[in-house]
Amino acid sequence: MDFQKLSAFLEKSGLPAFRMKQVRDAVYRGLAASWDEVTVLPAPLREKLSGEFHLHSVEQLEAQVSAKGDAVKFLFGLKDGRKIETVLLNLLPEKWSLCVSTQVGCPVRCPFCATGKKGLKRNLSPDEITDQFLAAGAWLRKERGQKIGNVIFMGMGEPFYNYDAVGEAIKVMTDPDRIGLGQRHISVSTAGHVPGIRRFAKDFPQCNLAISLHASEDALRNELVPLNRQYPLSQLAKALNDYIFSTRRRVFVEYVLMDGVNNSRSQAAKLNSWLRSVAAPKYFTINLIPYNRTGCPYRTPAKDRIKVFAGLMETYGFEVTVRKSLGDDIAGACGQLAGK
């Protein structure tokens, strides 16, 4: 919502300033999904405002719930008719994380990702990012009586190609007078945008940084993550080393395991060497993500091969998790968001 416009409107209508605070509280804290739910305002005022202002800049077109009920994929419509997807994930009992999109499509075009196939349509505005939280939060409260605890910028798009809007959205999400999440509950995942990593270290040192790595040799990474041609592994290593040195924070390394592509023993050894060239193993958590079907010519490795790769990385001294694939039956898992 355009709060400046709302403020001017209230002033012009001769209404007291506290009405503005009531609306802000209802939107950000109360997660009102419609003006009817802003019951603190008198009904005639609500009616007047509903004709002038949309509460959210995104409109929920669909909410698909996975068979196990642990993932919900939202299809949101934007004012220009474009569509984005956002996923709620129930990773632990009563702990919900929201994976938000930052762009319509994505310019990076990783060949294993459904979003990348579309190319970039446009950046999202700060409101369009924040409102994914407000709309999904309203759904979660109504349907399950629960709250979103974490936000992951890992949906459609490369967040650091839209840095200003992402930064503004993080400020709204962490502002105690608005959404009020702690910075440690926010994670931003990049495909390796080096200038973005450097800005992020200065602007949001308490937020979490994740790197979608997927390969630790330039030739393969150029293919799997084409952004690597612009920011090769040597530059990425330097940026991550500086990030760790200045923030003293652990970095999350995302590694999509594709059978016969990046999951051999020698590739595990190369990953170990590259990470150690950046910093000691204690500064990394490696999230192994078995490839999710996206209609691309890659295969998910068998369970025992995933185990071997994970075991090797543990032997090298790293903390390793194998990501549970929530929501692949609703095409809401990593790499599957296509805005359909």
Contact residues: ligand SF4, CB under 6 A: 106, 108-110, 113, 115-116, 156-158, 191, 212, 335
To the nearest whole angstrom, how small is the minimum distance from the Cβ of residue 214 to ligand SF4? Answer: 9
To the nearest whole angstrom, how small is the minimum distance from the Cβ of residue 112 to ligand SF4? Answer: 7
Query: Where does 157-295 have alpha helices with state H?
Result: 163-174, 194-203, 218-224, 233-247, 265-278
To the nearest whole angstrom, how small is the minimum distance from the Cβ of residue 255 to ligand SF4? Answer: 12
Closest to 335 (Cα-Cα) out of 18, 48, 111 = 111
Of 38 and 194, CB closest to ligand SF4: 194
Closest to 212 (Cα-Cα) out of 81, 136, 115 = 115
To the nearest whole angstrom, how small is the minimum distance from the Cβ of residue 85 to ligand SF4? Answer: 11
Of 110 and 136, CB closest to ligand SF4: 110
- What are 80's two structure tokens? 């220009």
Q: Buried (b) or exposed (e) across 220-240, using 16+ Cβ within 10 A?
A: bbbebbbbbeebebeebbbbb
To the nearest whole angstrom, how small is the minimum distance from the Cβ of residue 191 to ligand SF4? Answer: 4
CB contact at 8 A, 99 and 84: no
Residue of 85, 128, 158, 254 marked catalytic: 85
Residue of 106, 113, 207, 334 marked catalytic: 334
Catalytic: 128? no
Of 33 and 84, CB closest to ligand SF4: 84
- What are 168's two structure tokens? 């503004």
The neighbouring-strand residues paired with 62 are: 75
| Residue sitting closest to ligand SF4 (CB) | 116
Of 32 and 108, CB closest to ligand SF4: 108
Q: Buried (b) or exposed (e) across 297-310, using 16+ Cβ within 10 A?
A: ebebbeeebbebbb
Pairing of strands 120-123, 319-322: unpaired
Question: CA of 216: how far to CAs of 138, 224, 233, 317, in Å?
Answer: 41, 11, 7, 17
Of 108 and 253, CB closest to ligand SF4: 108
Catalytic: 99? no
Q: Which positions are annotated as active-site residues?
A: 85, 334
